[in-house]
Amino acid sequence: MDAKLFDHSHTIRASLLSGVSLFSTAVSACLALFYLIQLDSILTGAIHLVFCAYSLHIYFLAKKNQHTERNVRNFVYLIILIITYGNACLPLDNYNLLWITLCPLLMYALLDRRHGFYASIAIFVLQLCILGYRVFHVGDHSVAGLLVNLISSYCTVWLISHIYEGNRRDVEQTLSSLASRDALTSTHNRLALTTAFGHFERHRHDESLSLLIIDLDFFKSINDRYGHDVGDKVLIETSQLIMQIVGDDNLYRIGGEEFCVTLFNQSVDHAETVGERIRHLVASNPYVYNDQHIHLTLSVGICSYQPGHHLGDLLRMADKELYRAKESGRNQVRLCSVPKEELPTTTVSPQQEAHL
């Protein structure tokens, strides 16, 4: 989840893609005019015109952040084909091979590490085959020196690009984990919940969402009686118990002893069943620390997403059901039945929060 929701690579690649595609559009347009008018080469000019049009299309998609991975890969493959065609059919010199040696940097920058690796292999093998054919079969021995230069320079740039992209991705994933995880329980935090809900809103289409707010009953008394160290252990163990049912991706710690669970594409009835399973598991779990036995229960409030709801609306609705569960004796699950038009606009009062 962290990699999906906190993926800054997508933003970086979108910016780079727009710049590269705009540059490719300008260069391809100039080359197309040069081959069509100056050299009267219709085929080569037409190829550059097609690439120019597609590059312009990619540029507008990237500027609007509407491009897909498939668009980017097609763009990269077209670049490979253009370079391959040039080296196969046009005169060769060090200037031509300069563009080839820059390809690994471009492949890794526009694609992820795995696809960048494959694309770099593809273009390297293609160029070696073309240059080898021109040396040994066509008899173009002037290419032999270029072939040696290509192998040495390309492998150097390829190795640097591969190592750099791997290190950059590791650092990004580490920072994303630090930003999205709770330091005590290692569950996701409120920032991750906000980001996940934003992702859901942008891509939900026909997806549904049920949200559970879970609060440990009388947790303050555990801290007061056994100490905060034991209280921390209770929180950690409880989060692990909840993850046994809902998994790591769906659990968030949003307060001191308050957790949130997101269930995508699950009915409200199923969410209620999940809430009951969590409640029974925690209530029957033996919390034992230093020969001290602690009996713990929790209360759950559940609501479901309706078009137009914001995250704050869902949290208020679920909190209201949680408060009802607390008022009714705790250790129970309450399901929200408030329709969209009756969406609550008030929050729980300080007196109510103290009572919880």
pLDDT grade for 312, boundaries at 50, 70 and 90: very high
From 257, 258, 276, 353, the catalytic residue:
257
- Tally helices (H) and strands (E) across the chain: 14, 7
Residue with tokens 């200037």: 95
* DSSP helix/strand/coil, 257: coil
Q: State the pLDDT at residue 113.
A: 83
CA-to-CA distance for 109 and 240, rounded, in angstroms?
38
pLDDT grade for 65, boundaries at 50, 70 and 90: confident
Q: State the pLDDT at residue 138.
A: 60
Q: State the pLDDT at residue 6.
A: 52
| pLDDT tens, residue by residue, 80-95 | 888 888 777 766 655 5
- Nearest Cα neighbor of 267 from 208, 307, 310 is 208
Q: State the pLDDT at residue 326.
A: 93
Q: State the pLDDT at residue 139.
A: 61
Share of the chain above pLDDT 70, in %: 87
Share of the chain above pLDDT 90, in %: 39
pLDDT grade for 355, boundaries at 50, 70 and 90: very low
- Nearest Cα neighbor of 259 from 327, 346, 274, 228 is 274
Mean pLDDT over residues 226-248, rounded? 95
Mean pLDDT, the chain, rounded, equals 84
Q: State the pLDDT at residue 144.
A: 67
Q: State the pLDDT at residue 276.
A: 96
CB neighbours of residue 73 within 10 Å: 14
Q: Which residues contact 198 (CB under 8 A, 6 or more apart)?
A: none
Q: Looking only at Cα atoms, what is the longest distance across the chain?
A: 91
* DSSP helix/strand/coil, 188: strand
The answer to whether residues 105 and 157 touch, using CB atoms and an 8 Å cutoff, is yes
Q: How distant, in Å, are the alpha carbons of 83, 152, 174 from that of 132?
A: 16, 15, 44
Please report the domains of the chain, with CATH numbers, ordered by start residue: 2-180 (no CATH), 190-355 (3.30.70.270)
Residue 356, pLDDT above cutoff 50: no
Strands, E assignment, the chain:
209-216, 251-253, 258-264, 287-289, 292-294, 298-304, 333-335
| pLDDT tens, residue by residue, 319-344 | 999 999 999 999 999 998 644 444 44
Residue 257, pLDDT above cutoff 90: yes
Residue 5, pLDDT above cutoff 90: no
| pLDDT tens, residue by residue, 168-202 | 888 877 777 778 899 899 999 999 999 889 888 87
| pLDDT tens, residue by residue, 115-160 | 888 888 888 888 888 777 776 766 665 666 777 777 888 888 889 9
pLDDT grade for 73, boundaries at 50, 70 and 90: confident
Q: State the pLDDT at residue 341.
A: 43
Q: State the pLDDT at residue 342.
A: 44
Give ∠ CA 155-47-136 in degrees, rounded to 5: 45
276 catalytic? Reply is no
CA-to-CA distance for 84 and 168, rounded, in angstroms?
30
Least confident among 163-167, 253-257, 348-352: 348-352
Least confident among 216-230, 259-273, 283-297, 342-356: 342-356
Q: The whole model's pTM is what?
A: 0.61
Residue type, 168: R
- Nearest Cα neighbor of 262 from 210, 192, 322 is 210
